[in-house]
Structure 1
Amino acid sequence: MTSDATHREKKLRARWQSATTAAGAPADRDPAPYADRLLTAWAEPQRKFHTTAHLADVLARIDVLAAHTADDADAPNPAAPNPAAPDTAAPDTAAIELAAWFHDAVYRPDRSENEERSAALAERALPELGIDAATTAEVARLVRLTVTHDPAPGDTNGEVLCDADLAVLAGTPAEYAAYAAAVRAEYGFVPDGAFRDGRAAVLRQLLALPRLFRTPYGAAHWEAPARANLAAELERLISHT
């Protein structure tokens, strides 16, 4: 393991500890063995993009979004009938972080039920850690939401998680190219032509969405560069057909 990977794993273990504590895990439950299992899963050899680096990136984006969303929730909405009452709930950062840990805990590029199996894993593991039923249910709901990345209006937790997960689309051109190459490597078992067709369909579907990002911060900072990256990749795919 490289020094960067070792440092990242150490930070991730600390994040897991703090997230489980914030979610209500009692002091007599040791979360470390669960971190071991999750980090082992996130380091499986078939993963090229869905790795601990992606997990760390999603958690970092959650930090950014949760801070801004909390600010939005605390600010009065002058358009609301009662300006003192915000129309956005503050995010449950503990539940969102735990959902980030579990959202790709099960990942097989050739399978379609990864999110469901990942949610089921959370539903088994979190009660064992002493985390209550309501938080466990919310974590599992959020994991399942990453199938569509389509949170309902007002679903602050879902907006934060989905935007954090999709933020990779808004990287620099070089970062996006590395992401696209890693995705292709995960699907190395798919012939080039079939991959181009399938990937192009995904890109068209994303570009057709009215909004990729639902949080105010994501819409302001990530929407435009993400669309530019997606359009450029689609153009490259089309030019090779």
Structure 2
Amino acid sequence: MKRDELWEEAARVVRGDVRGLLSVREDLERRWSQPHRGYHDLRHLDEVLRALAELRPSAIENDRDWAGAVLAAWFHDAVYDVETPADNERLSSQLARTALSGSGVDRRVVDLTCSLVEASQTHEVSETTGPQAAFHDADLWILGAPTERFDGYCDDVRREYASVPDDAFATGRSAILRPFLERGSVYRTDHARRRWEASARDNLGRELDRLARRS
């Protein structure tokens, strides 16, 4: 399913104001299309949604949790400013709460959506099934992507931070990526570990080696 179809499916589940939710989606599409985005753009949103759909049968049991995960995908990088990256998830969560509550979405779905968005800041999730685990793994699908796509992702992130000198970027980026290799598993769900784990470890190792040569 395409991104707009998944949004419409989620909107039917949450039963909010149809016109209000359409306006929310249009605003989100504008945000995801901002010119300063290199990786965190509509392509990333589509990849997260496709990964969620792949994980849905084994990790998400009910329609409300599925709707919350879909909405979280749409909102999780809605605010993306490389100058203040520590605030992106908090501000994206605030945007989700305001927009969804204002469109009459059930508070339980709003709370779930916001918790998923906020968890994407640290990617620290203990669950191995359910919406938290599924959204965590879908957002990190790119780490286990085919080599060409992963390398393109690395280039896209570097373009977003083009103003940062190579050595500073390499140090900061390594600090973000290395902890994923230090975990027992990059992913939380059984499906993602079977399908994406080995590739993710190969990709991360290769990128960390490249970053080490720049620092």
What TM-score do the two structures reach when normalised by structure 1? Answer: 0.83
Check whether the contact 2:75–2:92 (CA below 8 A) recurs between aligned residues: yes
Q: Does 1:15 align with 2:6?
A: yes
Q: Does 1:176 align with 2:166?
A: no
Indicate which of 98, 101, 106 corresponds to 2:71: 98
Task: Identify the range of structure 1 (165-174 vs 231-240) with the bigger mean alpha-carbon deviation.
Answer: 231-240
* Offset at residue 173 of structure 1 (A): 1.2
Aligned residue in 1 for 2:40: 50
* Offset at residue 150 of structure 1 (A): 1.5
Segments of 5+ residues of structure 1 without an aligned counterpart are 1-7, 74-88
* Offset at residue 239 of structure 1 (A): 2.8
Check whether the contact 1:98–1:139 (CA below 8 A) recurs between aligned residues: yes
Q: Does 1:126 align with 2:108?
A: no
* Offset at residue 117 of structure 1 (A): 0.3
Name the structure with the higher helix share: 2
* Offset at residue 152 of structure 1 (A): 2.6
CA distance in 2, matches of 1:214, 1:139: 19
Amino acid at match of 2:146: T
CA distance in 1, matches of 2:184, 2:76: 24
Q: Does 1:39 align with 2:29?
A: yes
Q: Does 1:185 align with 2:159?
A: yes
Indicate which of 29, 52, 55 corresponds to 1:62: 52
CA distance in 1, matches of 2:93, 2:48: 17
Alpha carbons of structure 1 residues 33 and 91: separation in structure 2 relative to 1, 3 Å:
closer
Indicate which of 120, 128, 137 corresponds to 1:146: 120
Check whether the contact 2:89–2:118 (CA below 8 A) recurs between aligned residues: yes
Check whether the contact 1:163–1:215 (CA below 8 A) recurs between aligned residues: yes
Alpha carbons of structure 1 residues 98 and 192: separation in structure 2 relative to 1, 3 Å:
same
Amino acid at match of 2:11: T
Secondary structure of 2:140's counterpart equals helix
Check whether the contact 2:147–2:203 (CA below 8 A) recurs between aligned residues: yes
Alpha carbons of structure 1 residues 51 and 228: separation in structure 2 relative to 1, 3 Å:
same
Count of equivalent residues: 214
CA distance in 2, matches of 1:50, 1:42: 7
Segments of 5+ residues of structure 2 without an aligned counterpart are none
CA distance in 1, matches of 2:161, 2:112: 31
Q: How does 1:212-223 map to 2 (within 5 A)?
A: 212-223=186-197
Alpha carbons of structure 1 residues 176 and 193: separation in structure 2 relative to 1, 3 Å:
same
Check whether the contact 1:69–1:91 (CA below 8 A) recurs between aligned residues: no
Give the fraction of aligned pairs with identical amino acids, expressed as a percent.
34
* Offset at residue 171 of structure 1 (A): 1.1
Q: Does 1:110 align with 2:57?
A: no
CA distance in 2, matches of 1:91, 1:121: 20
Secondary structure of 1:92's counterpart equals helix
Task: Identify the range of structure 1 (107-116 vs 146-155) with the bigger mean alpha-carbon deviation.
Answer: 146-155
Amino acid at match of 1:61: A
Q: Aligned-residue CA RMSD in angstroms?
A: 1.9
Aligned residue in 2 for 1:159: 133
What TM-score do the two structures reach when normalised by structure 2? Answer: 0.93
Structure number with greater Rg is 1
Aligned residue in 2 for 1:209: 183
Q: Which protein has greater RCO, CA pairs closer than 8 Å, 6+ apart?
A: 2
* Offset at residue 221 of structure 1 (A): 0.9
